[in-house]
Amino acid sequence: MNAGTSSAYAFEGAAVALGGQTVWSQADLSVPIGDFAALIGPNGAGKTTMLRVLLGQIPLSAGSCTVFGDPPRRGNPAIGYVPQHYDEMDTDSIRAIDVVQLALGGERWGPRRSSSEDDDRAYAALERVGAAHVARRRLSQVSGGEQQRVAIAQALVSEPDLLFLDEPLANLDITSSHDIVELLRSLATDRQLSMLVVVHDLDPLVAILDGAVHILDGRPHYDPLETVLDSDLLTRLYRAPVEVIRTADGDVFTKGR
């Protein structure tokens, strides 16, 4: 980490293109360390692309970008990543704890025995996300919500300073979704950990978010949550009428008009 920096990640005049097509451009934003931000925008706006730029997997076509003050690079150990898909993997052939352990030096070449210390760290990470009870089970034998916890434990085990989650609430039932939100709430209390979460629906996270990166008309912005919770902004963002409703108790939710 660049010692002088106060931003977790930042863009300056940044643009990105895939296959010659500009995905988004003119990104000028800086998100402070410890911030819990949502990443929102319509389908195809380039939300996952933004994560992949910050992960150093896709180069910018213009401008610049930093993660903790340094240019993005592949394999940055400061970032933990929870992708959206599990469907590629054979969940019957691996245990939860193995999946977590792979994030501890699994990228290193050459023969290496996993130490009992790695085992302890992986177990501790599973404990932190409330999934220690499934540690020795095959992934195929744990529920969708528990699989999501295992994925979060895998991202947390190397103690990153920045956590990316891509649609962590997708395909979960209400109870599991609520449990994951509670887990994110507890992670958000760690002010050294910055989080960026791709979501379709802000409502479940409204109480715990600090702000949101939103990609509006092909241009990413960052605003504090209060600014984002605006009927006009959300309506333009989703290209469908959305109303922000504030109850007397101070609860906020959004509603399609």
Partner 1 sequence: MFAALIQENWYDILTSDFMRRAYIGGTLLAITGGLIGYFVVIRRLAFASHALGHLGMPGATGAVLVGLPLTLGLAVFSIAGGLAIGVLGKRAADREVATGSILAFSIGLGLAFANLVSGQSSLLTNVLFGNLLAITAQQIWVFAGFSVVLLAALAVIARPLLFASVAPEVAAARGIPVGGLGVLFVVMMALAVTMAVPFVGTLLLFALLVTPAAAALAITPRPGLASILSVVIALVSVWGGLFLSALFDLAASFFIVTIAVVIWLVATIVHRRGTTAAL
Is residue 83 a contact partner of residue 154, using CB atoms and an 8 Å limit? no
Tell me the closest approach of the beta carbon of residue 194 to partner 1, in angstroms.
16
By CB under 8 A, tell whether 117 contacts partner 1.
no
Q: Going by C-beta distance under 8 Å and a sequence separation of 6 or more, which residues neighbour residue 183?
A: 129, 130, 149, 152
Residues 65-101: b if buried by 16+ CB within 10 A, e if exposed? bbbbeeebeeebebbbbbeeeeeeeeeeeebbbbbbb
Which structure tokens are listed for 9? 């990640």
By CB under 8 A, tell whether 257 contacts partner 1.
no
Tell me the closest approach of the beta carbon of residue 187 to partner 1, in angstroms.
17
Tell me the closest approach of the beta carbon of residue 109 to partner 1, in angstroms.
5
By CB under 8 A, tell whether 9 contacts partner 1.
no
Tell me the closest approach of the beta carbon of residue 227 to partner 1, in angstroms.
30
By CB under 8 A, tell whether 152 contacts partner 1.
no
Q: What is the Rg, in whole angstroms, of the alpha carbon atoms belonging to the chain?
A: 19
By CB under 8 A, the count of residues binding partner 1 is 34
Dihedral-angle region of residue 154 (phi above 0 means left; psi in -120 to 50 means alpha; beta otherwise): alpha
- Nearest by Cα to 150 from 166, 178, 130, 174: 130
By CB under 8 A, tell whether 88 contacts partner 1.
yes
**Looking at 32, 63, 69, 106, which residue binds partner 1 (CB under 8 A)?**
106
- Nearest by Cα to 52 from 74, 36, 68: 74
**Looking at 6, 141, 171, 186, which residue binds partner 1 (CB under 8 A)?**
141
By CB under 8 A, tell whether 98 contacts partner 1.
yes
- Return residues touching partner 1 (CB under 8 A): 55, 57, 74-75, 79, 81-83, 85, 88-90, 92-95, 98-99, 102-103, 105-112, 138, 140-141, 151, 154-155
